[in-house]
Amino acid sequence: GQPLVFDMSYDQHMARREVENTVSQLLEVEGWNRRAPDPFHLHYCNLQPGGGYRRELVKRYGAETWENLLVTCTEKQHVDLFPREDLVYLTADSRNILRTFDHSKVYVVGSMVDRSIQPGLSLANAKRLKLNTARLPLDEFLQWDCGAKNLTLDQMIRILLTLKETGRWEEALEHVPKRKHDGFYRQVPDRDGPGHRDSDRTR
């Protein structure tokens, strides 16, 4: 199956409570993926043997379940496992918009909960490694006045699984919580590609 990377390098930046919250989201991620008709091959990269994420994952799953999960867990970096040109680091702070889901790419999601004190952390990481980046086309499809466009890891996997299966943003972005936006822009089929706005919202 298509690989999907979760970059586990962020635990040293986080308080214990945040590590716990991230791992709760990762348990959901694995669950959604396992139940999907066409799952990703999940890779948890940069997972440090003595680190906070590993400790919490083993604690939550139990040692036996953890050992038997259908997830590739590795200390290695994504850049050491996949060709650099295949990797796309997903980050809300990217200037590039992900317009179509590419089945030959390896998308990377940063394993962290949102924190106001360190915005742009995943973008900085991607830049340092000279990786391509992309953000989800939230502004292009959803009426979004303000508020953070950073989604949680469970929302990300549900969006990506739907995209992989259907290629349709309208379906995938149903997984963005409704409280975050005021609905979809009306889409005009077959014009200008995804994200074309028929009418801008009147305020």
Pairing of strands 3-7, 41-45: parallel
The residue sitting closest to ligand SAM, measured at its beta carbon, is: 110
Which of 26, 88, 121, 160: binder of ligand SAM (CB under 6 A)? Answer: 121
Q: Closest separation between CB of residue 46 and ligand SAM, Å?
A: 13
If the CB atoms of residues 37 and 136 are measured against ligand SAM, the closer one turns out to be 136
If the CB atoms of residues 45 and 112 are measured against ligand SAM, the closer one turns out to be 112
x/- site string to ligand SAM, residues 74 to 113, per CB under 6 A? Answer: ----------------xxxx---------------xx-xx
Amino acid at 60: R
Q: From the CB of residue 134, how many other CB atoms can be counted at a distance below 10 Å?
A: 19
Window 149 to 188, contacts with ligand SAM (CB under 6 A): 149-152, 156
Please give the size of the binding site for ligand SAM, defined by CB under 6 A. Answer: 21
Window 123 to 142, contacts with ligand SAM (CB under 6 A): 135-136, 138
Amino acid at 121: L
Handedness of CA 23, 27, 29, 34 (dihedral sign): positive
Q: Long-range contact list for 177-182, CB < 8 A, 24+ apart?
A: 180/142, 180/144, 180/147, 181/138, 181/142, 181/143, 181/144, 182/142, 182/143, 182/144, 182/145
Query: Across the strands, what pairs with 132?
Result: 88
Binding site for ligand SAM (CB under 6 A): 90-93, 109-110, 112-114, 119-122, 135-136, 138, 149-152, 156
